[in-house]
Structure 1
Amino acid sequence: MTDEAMQPFERIAQDVREQVRLRQLKPGDKLESTRELANRYAVAPGTVQRAFAELRRDGVIYSHTGRGSFIRENALDALADPTAQTIRRLEEQIADLTARLERVEQNQRSGSEQT
């Protein structure tokens, strides 16, 4: 995907991944704040948050509320195994669909009890 075709959040996530691969960011390093990255990339803070969510999902970073976001110890391993990333995404999608199905079934049961 060319830089022009990428969404801004994808570009930010790709830049962080590349910095990890090049060892410019190492395990335990703290990332710039959402506001700092938003200013640097000229995007809204929500765009940076979306990039962080993708990086967390892929096992590259972890975040502590009030402290910031940091590079995971095994970030390079997470980047080296695209199959594991795909499996992790599928597991998240299955969990999301399961939760949705449970809510639908619960709503149906509630509706049939009222009739």
Structure 2
Amino acid sequence: MTDESMQPYQRIAQDVRDQIRLGRLKGNDKLPSTRELADRYEVAPGTVQRALAELRAGGIIYSHQGRGSFIRESAIDTVADPTTQAIKRLEQQVAELSARLDRLEERHDD
């Protein structure tokens, strides 16, 4: 879907996802207020609210009444591109194999 075919709320939501993917937003970072986002994207506050609702439904953000919206820790994995996800899985497998090897070496030394 190109930017031209996306609705304004979808562009805002995608921009937040992109900022997470690029590391500009991290888990528990606070998003700007609805008013600030509306001004930044030159849209109505309702459009921002719709984008935030989409991000909440996708598990990307969580909101606290009166405090704002925040990036979920798990959002990093949710928006990661397939290559990054594959690298993380490989890193986890290498760590698990290293731990198994350490245990085997400990047994051998006993």
Q: Measure, in 1, the Cα distance between the counterparts of 2:35 and 2:42.
A: 10
* 1:77 Cα deviation after fit: 1.9
Quote the residue 2:7 is aligned against.
7
What are the residue-to-residue correspondences of 1:89-108 with 2, within 5 Å? none
TM value normalised by structure 1: 0.68
The higher relative CO (CA closer than 8 Å, separation ≥ 6) is in 2
Question: How far is the alpha carbon of 1:78 from its aligned partner?
Answer: 2.0
- Mapped to 2, the partners of 1:66 and 1:35 lie a distance apart of 13
Classify the secondary structure of the residue corresponding to 1:63. strand
- Distance (whole Å) between structure 1 residues aligned to residue 34 and residue 14 of structure 2: 16
Identity of aligned residues (%): 74
- How far the C-alpha of 1:79 sits from its partner, in A, is 2.1
The reply on whether 1:22 has 2:41 as its aligned counterpart is no
Take 1:17 and 1:79, find their aligned partners in 2: how far apart are those partners? Answer: 6
RMSD: 1.5
Deviation at 1:80, TM superposition (A): 4.2
1:105 paired residue number: none
| Structure 1 partner of 2:91 | none
Which digits, 9 at most, give the CA deviation of each residue in 1:84-114, with x for residues without a partner?
xxxxxxxxxxxxxxxxxxxxxxxxxxxxxxx
**Mapping of residues 62-77 of structure 1, within 5 Å:** 62-77=62-77
Equivalent residue for 2:52? Answer: 52
Q: Distance in 2 between matches of 1:21 and 1:42?
A: 23
User: 1:112 corresponds to which residue?
Assistant: none
Q: Aligned pairs, how many?
A: 82
Q: Does the 8 Å contact 2:26/2:76 carry over to 1?
A: no
Structure 2 Cα separation of the partners of residues 79 and 33 of structure 1 = 22
Tell me which structure has the larger Cα radius of gyration: 2
- TM-score, length basis structure 2: 0.71
Regions of 4+ moved over 3 Å: none
